[in-house]
């Protein structure tokens, strides 16, 4: 570039970039703020230690009905409830009284939660629970606690006191998050399969309409060809994630919205790829079968279909693979599957569980990638 315009153009470019820098708020210092570093460490640590096995927890519980206030004739004296474990406490008392609860025969050194439980009533239609105290059992499995009799216990439905002990057994069990992840991964694979299937069925006729060698033989055919191509290009410019967001508002959050979004995206992509396969078939067999006196449908069946069926199959497998990948993203905006659960776990700052989902996605996507490549190789 030469001449007087050089300096203004360079200045112009600098100004544009300066504006861009400010507009998108680029701030490298944010990486190094103390809280950011703390969060980053937390997230990355969690991601590299996904929740796979968790310590097994055992429980035991005793529940004693409790009345407030004491009915006529009943006394607020300690009584034994349960065999082993057992608790010793009064079975009735007045509001505001402090009662003594003793436990025996619980698991040594377990964590014990004492909680009031309310039966459903007009005041509490769903019933309820209220933690009264947390204590730790000692080495011989007994504990002692003083708890207050709350006014709420006088409610008409009645109440009871539950003592629940929890302790780690030392064994490890499969995390519920991993089970959930596996279930949703299967759902995601099926979601992608359904979308690919629907899209294939719709894309096949469209692809013939978008193939120049089939359509561009007369003015009407040529017009249809250009119209179909134009629509395909138009729809293709809308990202699946946007389509998913639209469908999620339309049919509700869930895998069905994801299926619809991926179907739309796949129709467009397969329609274009299929039409290119049709456009590049060898015209020789078409000529040869036509020369035998076969009609148009027979020519398509015996000269065109055998040439396109394997390439079509290869593209279908490839798109199933792609759709599994995209469905994890589409899930973020309400498309169901593992993506939606991943977003929930991230929002709940459950990063270990999120890590489980991320690793599962990595594993499934790479396996599918490999399988689809091998399948496509095998059917050449």
Q: Tell me if 293 contacts another protein by CB under 8 A.
A: yes
Task: Please calculate the CA angle 109-110-116 and round it to the nearest 5 degrees.
Answer: 135
Shortest distance, CB of residue 277 to another protein, whole angstroms? 13
Q: Which of 58, 77, 138, 295 binds another protein (CB under 8 A)?
A: 295
Torsion 105-160-146-167 (CA) sign = positive
Cβ atoms 339, 329 nearer than 8 A:
yes
Nearer CB in complex with another protein: 194/316:
316
Stretch that binds another protein, among 40-48, 90-98, 180-188, 283-291 (CB under 8 A): 283-291
Nearer CB in complex with another protein: 39/301:
301
Shortest distance, CB of residue 348 to another protein, whole angstroms? 53
Using DSSP's 3-state secondary structure scheme, residue 72 falls into coil
Q: State the binding string over 110-139 for another protein (x if CB under 8 A, else -).
A: ------------------------------
Give yes or no for a cis peptide into 69 (omega within 30° of 0). yes
Q: Tell me if 285 contacts another protein by CB under 8 A.
A: yes
- How many H-runs (helices) and E-runs (strands) does the chain carry? 12, 8
Shortest distance, CB of residue 292 to another protein, whole angstroms? 5
Q: Which of 14, 48, 288, 367 binds another protein (CB under 8 A)?
A: 288
Nearer CB in complex with another protein: 38/292:
292
Binding residues for another protein, total number by CB under 8 A: 21
Q: What is the CA radius of gyration of the chain?
A: 34
CB atoms within 10 A of CB 345: 21
Q: Which of 153, 289, 314, 360 binds another protein (CB under 8 A)?
A: 289
CA distance 143 to 161: 15
Residue 259 neighbours by CB under 8 Å, 6+ apart = 191, 194, 195, 198
Stretch that binds another protein, among 3-11, 95-103, 144-152, 294-302 (CB under 8 A): 294-302
Nearer CB in complex with another protein: 244/277:
277
Q: Which of 290, 325, 350, 365 binds another protein (CB under 8 A)?
A: 290
Structure tokens at 118: 């309310």
> Concatenated DSSP letters for 300-333?
IIIIIHHHHHHHHHHHHHHHHHHHHHHHHHHGGG
Q: Tell me if 11 contacts another protein by CB under 8 A.
A: no
Shortest distance, CB of residue 229 to another protein, whole angstroms? 22
- Cα 330 off chain centre by: 10
Nearer CB in complex with another protein: 158/285:
285
Q: Tell me if 291 contacts another protein by CB under 8 A.
A: yes
Structure tokens at 57: 């927890």
Nearer CB in complex with another protein: 289/324:
289
Task: Tell which positions 296-315 bind another protein, by CB under 8 A.
Answer: 297-298, 301-303, 306-307, 309-310
> Concatenated DSSP letters for 143-173?
EEEEEE--GGGGSTT-EEEEEEEEEEEEEEE
CA distance 333 to 320: 20
Q: Tell me if 378 contacts another protein by CB under 8 A.
A: no
Tell the residue number behind the tokens 């020519």, with chain if given.
299
Q: How far is CA 10 from CA 16, 21, 24, 197, 214, in A?
A: 10, 17, 21, 52, 51
Stretch that binds another protein, among 145-153, 221-229, 279-287, 323-331 (CB under 8 A): 279-287
Nearer CB in complex with another protein: 125/293:
293
CA distance 277 to 239: 24
- Check residue 113 and report its DSSP letter: E
Q: Tell me if 213 contacts another protein by CB under 8 A.
A: no
Stretch that binds another protein, among 89-97, 278-286, 329-337, 369-377 (CB under 8 A): 278-286
Shortest distance, CB of residue 287 to another protein, whole angstroms? 6
53-66, strands of its sheet edge to edge: 53-66, 159-174, 111-118, 128-136
Residues that bind another protein (CB under 8 A): 282, 284-285, 287-295, 297-298, 301-303, 306-307, 309-310
């Amino acid at each position: 570039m030469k001449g007087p315009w050089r300096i203004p153009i360079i200045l112009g470019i600098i100004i544009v970039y300066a504006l861009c820098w400010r507009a998108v708020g680029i701030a490298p210092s944010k990486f190094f703020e103390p809280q950011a570093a703390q969060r980053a460490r937390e997230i990355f640590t969690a991601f590299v230690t996904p929740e796979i096995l968790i310590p097994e927890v055992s429980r035991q519980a005793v529940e004693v009905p409790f009345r407030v206030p004491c009915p006529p004739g009943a006394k607020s004296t300690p009584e034994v409830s349960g065999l082993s474990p057992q608790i010793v406490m009064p079975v009735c008392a007045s509001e505001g009284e402090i009662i003594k609860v003793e436990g025996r025969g619980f698991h040594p050194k377990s964590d014990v939660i004492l909680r009031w439980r309310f039966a459903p009533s007009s005041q509490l239609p769903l019933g309820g629970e209220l933690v009264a105290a947390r204590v730790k059992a000692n080495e011989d499995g007994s504990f002692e606690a003083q708890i207050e009799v709350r006014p709420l216990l006088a409610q008409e439905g009645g109440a009871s006191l539950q003592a629940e002990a929890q302790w780690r057994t030392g064994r490890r069990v499969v995390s519920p998050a991993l089970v959930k992840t596996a279930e949703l991964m299967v759902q995601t694979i099926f979601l992608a399969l359904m979308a690919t299937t629907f899209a294939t069925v719709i894309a096949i006729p469209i692809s013939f309409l978008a193939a120049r060698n089939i359509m561009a033989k007369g003015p009407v055919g040529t017009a249809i060809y250009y119209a179909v191509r134009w629509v395909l290009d138009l729809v293709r410019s809308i990202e699946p994630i946007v389509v998913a967001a639209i469908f999620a508002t339309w049919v509700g959050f869930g895998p069905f919205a994801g299926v619809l979004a991926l179907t739309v995206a796949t129709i467009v992509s397969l329609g274009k790829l299929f039409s290119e396969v049709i456009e590049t078939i060898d015209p020789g067999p078409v000529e040869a079968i036509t020369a035998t006196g076969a009609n148009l449908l027979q020519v398509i069946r015996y000269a065109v279909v055998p040439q396109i069926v394997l390439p079509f199959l290869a593209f279908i497998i490839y798109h199933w693979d792609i759709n599994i990948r995209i469905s994890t993203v589409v899930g973020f905006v309400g498309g169901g599957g593992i993506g939606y659960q991943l977003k929930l776990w991230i929002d709940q700052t459950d990063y270990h569980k999120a890590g489980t989902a991320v690793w599962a996605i990595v594993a499934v996507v790479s396996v599918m990638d490999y399988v689809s490549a091998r399948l496509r190789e095998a059917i050449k």
